[in-house]
């Protein structure tokens, strides 16, 4: 458990662990855990799924780069979101872990409940001019639309405004 209990996204940390029968580990001062300290604590607690914000994810990536891939041998999956992730650092993380760690980027907006889309490192992504990881595909019961200023759908690859529909919309 990394996020504050008062933040709705904490639900993505709490409930999947509990309903799947996994253990939920709560550090008394999670904000103090970054990089090497976080890897050491998670190794000690046998945590194999991390749900951490991008700045913390970057500190973990840097620690793995500094200490070597064995420092994250216990990690199976990392979920990050809340702000954009660098495509270069995302690919660096994948290479550092030899593709062994499942890396997910979650995208959501305040109008929707927690996450609306997921991008998985296993997704095939067309080359892009942007340095940011794509927002991915809608999760179950969510729909995405990109409209122009007149609320007309735009073709793939054309800039527009993102609209989200489905059961997760507040």
pLDDT attached to residue 127 = 55
Question: What does the block give as tokens for 125?
Answer: 């992504």
pLDDT attached to residue 18 = 92
Q: Are 128 and 156 in contact (CB under 8 A)?
A: no
Side by side, the strands of the sheet bearing 77-81 are 49-51, 77-81, 102-107, 117-120, 137-138
Model confidence over 69-110: pLDDT tens digits?
999 999 999 999 888 888 888 888 888 988 889 999 999 887
Distance CA 95, CA 79 (A): 17
Percent of the chain with pLDDT over 70: 95
Model confidence over 107-132: pLDDT tens digits?
988 788 789 999 987 655 555 667 88
Q: How many CB atoms lie within 10 A of CB 5?
A: 10
pTM over 0.75: yes
Model confidence over 141-167: pLDDT tens digits?
999 999 999 999 999 889 999 999 998
Q: Are 60 and 78 in contact (CB under 8 A)?
A: yes
Helices 54-67 & 87-96, crossing angle to 10 degrees?
40
């Amino acid at each position: 458990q990394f996020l504050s209990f008062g933040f709705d996204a904490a639900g993505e940390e709490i409930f999947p662990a509990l309903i799947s029968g996994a253990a939920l580990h709560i550090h008394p001062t999670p904000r103090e855990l970054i990089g090497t300290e976080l890897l050491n604590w998670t190794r000690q607690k046998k945590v194999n799924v991390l749900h951490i914000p991008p700045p913390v994810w970057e500190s973990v990536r840097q620690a793995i780069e500094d200490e070597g891939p064995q420092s994250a041998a216990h990690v199976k999956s990392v979920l990050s979101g809340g702000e954009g992730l660098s495509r270069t650092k995302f690919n660096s993380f994948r290479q550092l872990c030899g593709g062994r760690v499942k890396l997910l980027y979650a995208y959501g907006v305040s109008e929707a409940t927690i996450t609306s889309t997921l991008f998985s490192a296993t997704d095939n992504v067309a080359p892009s001019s942007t340095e940011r990881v794509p927002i991915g595909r809608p999760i179950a019961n969510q729909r995405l639309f990109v409209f122009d200023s007149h609320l007309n759908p735009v073709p793939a690859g054309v800039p527009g405004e993102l609209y989200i529909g489905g059961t997760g919309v507040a």
